[in-house]
Amino acid sequence: MDDKLTTKEKIEISVQSGLQLVPYVGGALSTLYFGTKQEKRFKRIESFYEEFSDQVEQLQLQLPSVDFHEQDKLINLIEELNEKIERESTEQKRTYFKKYLYSTLSSPTNDNFDERRFFLESLATMTLLECEVLLNIKEQNNPVRVGSLSKPGIDLYAIVGSVGRLRMNGFIRLQNDNIIFNGGDDSLNDSFVVSDFGNRFIQYCIE
């Protein structure tokens, strides 16, 4: 058994020690922060698997035996998933993580392991706006111009940034005539469609 501390554990010990140095309130502050932090993380994990189990039973979903998987890879993915769940506070992203878990358990983990890992990392770092933009583009039958995307209360250039990150992940691809009107911003006139890779991501994690 390896008793060495991980980098994450070392950082947490350093933070805890640092909080304890705060005059007068350090000890109480450290206890409050780490006690609350661990409690919230535990509850998120616990409720996630309770909800997932209930959904599997209610929908009468069939999952293959664990022997169906390459177990080391499956454990690796679940460990990484748990870390994401611990930190995620939005209900919608938790719903997407449940879909990811179901997709992972439904087919052998020796198939496309790296792709599944990439999907998990991407999902964890994506904002809900990015998820919405991706689904919005998918729902259209034709290439979607960036300038036509909008959401009340959201700056247009926040959407431009979301499009850029989706493109960087390979989930969407450029498809347009790149016509600039009246010297306008080129990025607003770019049009995109969801790539095959993006469709696999949506099917695996979102829909």
Q: How many angstroms separate the CA atoms of 43 and 17, rounded?
A: 25
Residue 147 lies in a domain: yes
Domain that holds residue 167: 127-197
- Residue 162: beta bridge partners? none
Domains of the chain: total: 1
pLDDT tens string 40-98: 777 787 788 888 888 888 888 777 777 777 878 888 888 898 889 888 889 999 999 99
**Rounded to an integer, what distance in angstroms lies between the CA atom of residue 49 and that of residue 39?**
16
Q: Measured between alpha carbons, how far is 166 from 130 in angstroms, rounded to an integer?
A: 7
Q: How far is residue 173's CA from residue 5's CA, in Å, rounded to a whole number?
A: 42
- Residue 64 to residue 109: CA distance in whole angstroms: 12
131 in a structural domain = yes
In a domain, 94, yes or no: no
pTM value is 0.78
- Asked whether residue 179 is domain-assigned, the answer is yes
Structural domain includes residue 152: yes
Q: What is the pLDDT of residues 151-197, one digit of tens each?
A: 999 999 999 999 999 999 999 999 865 554 444 557 788 899 999 99
Rounded Cα distance, 127 and 108, in Å: 28
CA distance 120 to 82: 11
Q: Is 78 domain-assigned?
A: no
In a domain, 84, yes or no: no
CATH number, domain with residue 134 = 1.10.10.10
| 181 falls within a domain | yes
